[in-house]
Each structure stands twice: as C-alpha cells, then as structure tokens.
Chain A
Amino acid sequence: MEKSYLSLAIFFLLGIALPMVALFFGRLLRPHRPLPEKAITYESGVDPTGDSWVQFHVRYYLFALLFVIFDVEAVFLYPWAVSYDLLRTEMGLFILVEMTIFVLFLLIGLIYAWKKKVLEWR
C-alpha cells in the first residue's frame, strides 16, 4: 500500500518537474528579443480585434452540463464494475438489470436532449 503511493508520488512529482525543467532550460538557451508585435495575443495568425473576453453562447453551457451528468453516471459505474462478480453470485442477473435501468433513465435524458436539438450545431 505504502509503496504504491510512493511510486504515485514520484510519478506526480516527475509530471510537475518535467515541464518546469524544460521551460527553465528553454529560457536559458533561447534568444530573448522582445518586439511589440511578438507581444500581441496569438489568434490564428490574424491580428486580434476587440477584448479577449467575449460572452460565449449559452449552448456551450449545455455541453458542459451534459458532461457533468454523464461524469456522475460514470462514477456510479466504477463500484458496480468492481463488485459485479461478487454481486452476480449473490443476486444473480438482477445486478445487470439494475444497472440497465439506471443507464436507461439517463438514456431517456440523452434522447430528450437529442430531440430538443441540443446536440446539433446550427
């Protein structure tokens, strides 16, 4: 248990250290000649116009919400998958039916979203 967390910690620290070290050495090695043109915000090679803050369309919010709902659903699937074998012997196939009902309810939501043209991009 302890050892597995240690390897996780090393992995985590390496993940943080790698970009930091790379960017630090890049700063030492690269030439530094700032120009006003270089300081402009990059926007697909075109000079940006207006503020960097624009109000996004509310449709994006629906995609975020769909993501959250199905994220929560996925969380429920993890313990179900882990304990499936154990519960299969205790409850029989009902454990499969149970999760099917759960997923079906959310499928109704997905179909509703589909019918309401939430998934379409106009």
Chain B
Amino acid sequence: MNINGEFIAFFIFSVLAIGGAVFMINLTRVMHMALALAFTFFSIAGLYVLLDAPFLAVIQILIYTGAVSILMIFGIMLTKHKDEDKVAPFTVHKLLSLLGVGGFLAIVIWIIYRNPFFSTGEPQAAAFKVTDLGKAMFKTYMIPFEVTSILLLVALIGAIVLAKREEKK
C-alpha cells in the first residue's frame, strides 16, 4: 500500500462519511441528526471527486447536501416533537436489528469478496466528459428526459395539492 495524497484524502472522507452516519444514528436531537446526515452527504461528494467524477460530486452537493438537507430541516421545523435526551435501553428489538444488519454486512462482504470490483485488466471506461453525458441525455434518451420534466411537474402539483389541503384544516 503506497501512501499518497489520494489515499489520505480517501481516508479522511471515508472516516467523515462513516462518522457522520454513526453520529446521525446515535445523536438524540433531531436537528443534530440532520446536520450529521448533511456531513455524510458532503463527504460522499468528496469521495466522488476522488473517483474522478466531479460532475456527480457537484450534483451530490447541490441535491443532497443542499436540497435534501434543507427539506429535512423544514420537515423537522414543521413537526412537533419533544427533544429526548435520554438514551433508549438495549432491548430485544435492538438485538434483532443488530443481527439483521450484521447478517446483511456479512452477505455484502461475501459478495464483494466473490466478485472483486477491480478486475485485472485495464479500466474500461474512458475519461469522463460532461459533453458525453449531454449527448446521451439530450440525444439518445430524449424522450425519458422530457418525461423527467413531467415527473417533476407531477411532484410539484402533488405537493401543492397536499399542502393546501393541510393548510385548510
């Protein structure tokens, strides 16, 4: 293992991403949880940069770190809840969850072990260009692109209808 800048950056970002996720589960205040989750999203954007996908990293920051986190904070602000600082006791339910998650982790590790990501040979994908993405999106998949717009429209109108009904109450 050679230690270079990329390795150090990967180490920092992965520790931040996992740390954010662990804190998100363990923190007791909802707002702190949302912050921890935003931290995880941001670190994943850093990992995307390391994987030579800067466009995906920018989208990760725009959509997840920006929009989704904001939406979550709004959701927290809109709901009534009591901050509970006490830690829930260790129950049978938690033990079962631990077993389930542990089993899932074992299966994932087994699958990665069986099918390694890095095959021996040259990497297949050429260097990423945004123009390739544009070509695929606006030329090859033209109709799905327009349908995406309709999907966004449906989401917008649905949200307005639901929120308006809530407001009338």
Contact = CB atoms under 8 A, between A and B. Distances in A.
Nearest to A110: B156
B3 interface: no
Given A9-B9, A65-B159, A105 B152 contact: yes
A82 B67 contact: no
Interface string A53-64: 101111111101
- The interface centre, meaning the residue of B59, B131, B138, B155 with most chain A CB atoms within 10 A of its CB, is B138
Interface string B37-64: 0000000000001001001001100110
Contacts of B148: 76, 102
Contacts of A113: 156, 160
Interface residues of B, number: 47
Contacts of B77: 55-56, 60
Contacts of B134: 79-80, 82-84, 86-87
Given A59-B163, A71-B66, A106-B153, A98 B78 contact: no
A91 B63 contact: no
Nearest to B165: A58
Given A61-B78, A75-B63, A116-B160, A106 B139 contact: no
Contact of A98 (B67, B138, B150): B138
Given A68-B67, A72-B67, A79-B133, A106 B152 contact: yes
A58 B62 contact: no
Contact of A55 (B78, B130, B131, B155): B78
The size bracket of the interface on A is 35 or more
B74 interface: yes
B15 to A, nearest CB: 15
Contacts of B159: 62, 65
A48 interface: no
A67 interface: yes
A116 B139 contact: no
Contacts of B108: none
A78 B156 CA distance: 21
B5 to A, nearest CB: 7
Contacts of A64: 70-71, 74
10 contacts: A6-B5, A73-B149, A76-B145, A79-B134, A80-B134, A82-B134, A87-B134, A98-B145, A102-B148, A108-B153
Q: Which 6 A-B pairs rank lowest in CB-CB distance, beginning with the nearest?
A: A83-B134, A109-B156, A105-B149, A64-B74, A83-B131, A79-B134
